């Protein structure tokens, strides 16, 4: 695709109705892009929903898993892929209990996510506290950003 001048000098060459249209299209794209960068729909609708964050050396994956303990989870890492599976079980309550509401759900789950970079699989840590799972995944050496100093000649 040719590089095109977006705005500017109508006196120069290729101007016309299409350039205006192009400009409009760019603006709409920018607008909708800005929207989807915010909180979007859960990508796959796969349980559990995850929040992934990163700093320079580490990825952090968090998920809300109320009632689950570390032992109930299977977590494995290969390359840049993280997989979590497990089962949310409820203990059998009183058989004679009459239910008024039943909104919580039990069941099995399995999810695989690709992270944006390679992980040092040997140093991955996972914690589960207050129903929140936090997985700390240190980035592999080659995935870390390198600071480049500009030498004075």
User: What residues make contact with other proteins under the rule CB under 8 A?
Assistant: 39-40, 42-56, 59-60, 62, 64-69, 87-110, 115-116, 128, 130-132, 134
Of 20 and 64, the one with the shorter C-beta distance to other proteins is 64
Between CA 138 and CA 151 the distance in angstroms is 30
Q: What's the min distance (Å) between Cβ of 106 and other proteins?
A: 5
Of 81 and 109, the one with the shorter C-beta distance to other proteins is 109
Q: What's the min distance (Å) between Cβ of 111 and other proteins?
A: 9
Neighbours of 83 (CB within 10 A): 13
Of 79 and 116, the one with the shorter C-beta distance to other proteins is 116
Between CA 45 and CA 148 the distance in angstroms is 40
Question: What end-to-end distance do the CA atoms of the chain give, in Å?
Answer: 37
Q: What's the min distance (Å) between Cβ of 104 and other proteins?
A: 5
Which H/E stretch holds residue 73? strand 73-78
Of 11 and 35, the one with the shorter C-beta distance to other proteins is 35
Q: Is the peptide bond before 59 cis (omega within 30 degrees of 0)?
A: no
Which H/E stretch holds residue 26? helix 17-36
Q: Which two tokens stand for residue 6?
A: 């977006």
Q: What's the min distance (Å) between Cβ of 32 and other proteins?
A: 18
Q: What's the min distance (Å) between Cβ of 58 and other proteins?
A: 8
Of 115 and 124, the one with the shorter C-beta distance to other proteins is 115
How large is the greatest C-alpha to C-alpha distance in the chain, in angstroms?
84
């Amino acid at each position: 695709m040719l590089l095109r001048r977006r705005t500017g000098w109508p006196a120069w060459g290729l101007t016309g109705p299409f350039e205006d249209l192009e400009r409009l299209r760019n603006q709409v794209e920018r607008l909708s892009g800005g929207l989807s960068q915010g909180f979007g729909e859960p990508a796959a609708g796969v349980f559990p929903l995850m929040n992934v964050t990163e700093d320079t050396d580490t990825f952090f994956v968090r998920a809300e898993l109320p009632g689950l303990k570390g032992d109930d989870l299977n977590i494995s890492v290969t390359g840049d892929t993280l997989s979590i599976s497990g089962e949310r079980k409820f203990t059998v309550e009183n058989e004679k209990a009459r239910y008024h509401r039943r909104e919580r759900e039990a069941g099995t789950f399995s999810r695989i996510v690709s992270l944006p970079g390679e992980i040092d699989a040997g140093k991955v840590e996972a914690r589960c506290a207050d129903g929140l799972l936090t997985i700390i995944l240190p980035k592999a050496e080659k995935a870390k950003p390198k600071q480049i100093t500009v030498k004075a000649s």
